[in-house]
Structure 1
Amino acid sequence: MILIHSFNENGELLPEEIDTINQLTKLPIDSLHLDAISVVTNIYRVAQGLRNKMEQEVLSEYGLSWTAFSMLYDLWIWESIETKKLAESAGVSKATVSNITKTLERKELCYRRIDNRDRRITYVALTEKGKQVMEALYPQFHKGEVEIVSGLSKDEQKSMSNLLRKVIRNNHF
């Protein structure tokens, strides 16, 4: 309990963090980095919460999963993307991109095209209908983004963005 007290001197840990620390401190690990555990666990919980909230409150109306939306968003921003880069950006495999692309093609939101110079390369591009869907959907999605961080001041939001960018750069995410 001394370990938890020193880590939690301001009483700011979530109950789930306390349970996690209590369990992990039983392991025979020489050097347990509680701050690292807390950061990674909380990033994961925020990411899952964000995903669930947006799928339930915004994306379900359009019949889109988080990954399908992520792909459409990338296509909306860049218009056409090679499938390998789309997979990297969405954090999924090329097979997943292929499966979701098939679904989005059936909804007439995107289409595939083969590179004329190298037939091994496939691009995915947004259709006009896909563009219209994103233009209607994004304002609702953005409202959700604003709600999620509404408990943070503008300075806290900027600070968090800067810290997360640092993690992204350091890990080449």
Structure 2
Amino acid sequence: MIKTEERTELSLHLYRVLAKSFKSVNEHAVTGSKIQGFNPTAFAVLEVLYYKGQQPIQQIGAKLLLQSGNVTYVIDKLEAAGYLHRTPCARDRRVIFAELTPQGKALMDRLYPEFGDRIDHALSGLDAAEKETLIALLKKMGREAEKLAPLTRK
């Protein structure tokens, strides 16, 4: 049985490794979005809409861990550029959906394969089985952390 101190130190080490790994991989995504002329937040909004389809604006911010004001600003810019449009919810006037326009979809059809290649390159140190194992472990870790979150928010 592992002692509490050792378990805590192992958890802290895992956290640091996870954070460093994410930072290293994320640099590939950030560099790619900048090369395409977008800031990382704008590209992330486009990616969410491309991958998930129409989304409530409030949920986009939550998915990207952004404040709603930041999301609104980015969505305003993307809408002005013609890449997305807003649609009010028919059942709840407080909810507004964002969705890619045909121009936005065409843009992402062109950019997303390159983005995928960048991420694939960044993760090329793992084989397919290792990626599947890591996905399963990270999902398990995230679900458990999410269950415990209300206990830590006192």
Fold agreement, TM-score > 0.5: yes
Residue 83 (structure 1) aligns with: 57
Distance 1:86 1:115 in 2: 15
Which has the larger Rg? 1
Is the aligned partner of 1:125 residue 2:99? yes
Structure 2, unaligned runs of 5 or more: 148-154
Distance 2:97 2:55 in 1: 5
Counterpart secondary structure, 1:120: coil
Is the aligned partner of 1:66 residue 2:31? no
Contact residue 34 and residue 40 of structure 2 kept, 8 A: no
Structure 1, unaligned runs of 5 or more: 1-29
Q: Map Cα deviations across residues 126-153 of structure 1 (whole Å, 9 max, x no partner).
A: 1111101111111111111111121122
Q: 1:43 aligns with which of 2, 18, 28?
A: 18
Contact residue 55 and residue 98 of structure 2 kept, 8 A: yes
Contact residue 89 and residue 96 of structure 2 kept, 8 A: yes
Distance 1:156 1:150 in 2: 11
Q: Percent identity?
A: 22
Q: Following TM superposition, by how much is the alpha carbon of 1:53 offset from its aligned partner in structure 2, in angstroms?
A: 2.1
Higher helix content, 1 or 2: 2
Residue 167 (structure 1) aligns with: 141
Normalising by structure 1, we get a TM-score of 0.74
Counterpart secondary structure, 2:5: coil
Distance 2:146 2:38 in 1: 28
Residue 150 (structure 1) aligns with: 124
Which letter does structure 2 place at the counterpart of 1:169? R
After TM superposition, list the pairs within 5 Å mapping 1:13-24 onto structure 2: none
Residue 34 (structure 1) aligns with: 9
Residue 75 (structure 2) aligns with: 101
Contact residue 28 and residue 122 of structure 2 kept, 8 A: no
Distance 1:102 1:74 in 2: 16
**Number of aligned residue pairs:** 143
